[in-house]
Amino acid sequence: MTAAEVQKIRTSIDEKKRKNDRAEGAIESIQQEWKRQFGFETIEEAQNKLKELGENADLYAEQEEKIVEQLKELVNWENL
């Protein structure tokens, strides 16, 4: 292996390290922005939050249905 080939390999390794560092920095920036905007940093936390929001939506839908039924019972439909 010649010195030029070794240098080419070193250059390639250094370039890959720089790209990796940039990617890690980008991931960290995204995580910080998610934390600031939404209160979570990781995909797992985001999935848990979505699950929680879905459960809350189901609960609110059930409550809405109950309220609508109560309103129907209160309204005297014959006088309308």
* In a shared domain, residues 25 and 59: no
Longest dimension (CA), the chain: 99
Report the percent of the chain where pLDDT is more than 90: 69
* In a shared domain, residues 30 and 53: no
* In a shared domain, residues 31 and 54: no
Q: Alpha-carbon distance 41 to 27, whole Å?
A: 10
Domain with 77, as residue range(s), is 42-80
Alpha carbon 74 to its chain centroid, in Å, reads 43
Mean pLDDT to the nearest integer, 28-46: 91
* In a shared domain, residues 35 and 48: no
Per-residue confidence band for 79, with pLDDT thresholds at 50, 70 and 90:
low
